[in-house]
């Protein structure tokens, strides 16, 4: 087989070409067909295969995540029981509407029991949330640093939830040597809404939603 054999190919008379030239032409034709087949058929199929492999990996990861959650389902259930128990314990620390007067008295008595002098004890307007109401109480008490600190501790130990906020501590009349201090703060206490209040809240919410 010589190079001249390819320069003088007569495609109209392929049958008379030398066997070696025919073999080379068949090889080139086969390569061309393989190339066309790859680009027209195999490449899209390979792309689909890659997508299928990626989808399989994604589904496998989801399955493993779900399996892990299923294995831990008992722990999750126990956690929910613990949360409900804790929530119930906290809910018991919220007085109902009928107990609020007694709670206000307890806060007042906590101060008087430490020898403090109340210049202001003013309950404010309640703010209603999902299942509870928050009542702010503006207080202004006079006493020594030690007694005021003991008062704050006594308030934190009340059986109902009471927090002291926006605390301001200043010497009485600006006289540091007197040892008398003025404590101004907003005491916040909370109560849970009774069934009537919850029903009224739901009814109002429905009316607002309907508009």
Say what the pLDDT of residue 130 is. Answer: 74
Fold exhibited by the domain 97-197? Alpha-Beta Plaits (3.30.70)
CA angle 146, 153, 100 (to 5 degrees): 130
What are the domain boundaries of the chain?
A: 53-92, 97-197
Q: How far apart are CA 113 and CA 58, in angstroms?
A: 67
Low-confidence ranges of the chain (pLDDT < 70): 1-26, 28-30, 33-34, 36-46, 84, 86-98, 194, 198, 201, 205-211
Say what the pLDDT of residue 51 is. Answer: 81
pTM > 0.85: yes or no: no
Q: How far apart are CA 37 and CA 43, in angstroms?
A: 9
């Amino acid at each position: 087989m010589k190079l001249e054999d390819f320069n003088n190919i007569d495609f109209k008379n392929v049958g008379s070409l030398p066997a070696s030239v025919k073999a080379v032409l068949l090889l080139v034709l086969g390569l061309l067909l393989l190339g066309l087949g790859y680009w027209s058929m195999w490449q899209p199929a390979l792309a689909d295969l890659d997508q299928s492999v990626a989808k399989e990996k994604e589904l496998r990861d989801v399955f493993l995540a779900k399996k892990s959650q299923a294995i831990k389902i008992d722990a999750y259930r126990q956690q929910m029981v613990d949360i409900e128990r804790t929530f119930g314990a906290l809910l018991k620390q919220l007085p109902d509407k009928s107990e609020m007067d007694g709670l206000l008295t307890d806060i007042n008595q906590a101060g008087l029991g430490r020898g403090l002098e109340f210049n202001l004890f003013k309950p404010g307007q309640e703010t209603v949330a999902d299942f509870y109401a928050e009542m702010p109480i503006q207080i202004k008490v006079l006493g020594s640093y030690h007694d005021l600190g003991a008062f704050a501790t006594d308030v934190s130990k009340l059986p109902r939830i009471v927090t002291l906020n926006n605390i301001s501590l200043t010497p009485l009349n600006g006289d540091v040597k007197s040892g008398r201090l003025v404590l101004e703060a907003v005491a916040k206490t909370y109560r849970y809404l009774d069934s009537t209040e919850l029903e009224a809240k739901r009814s109002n919410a429905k009316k607002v939603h309907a508009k």
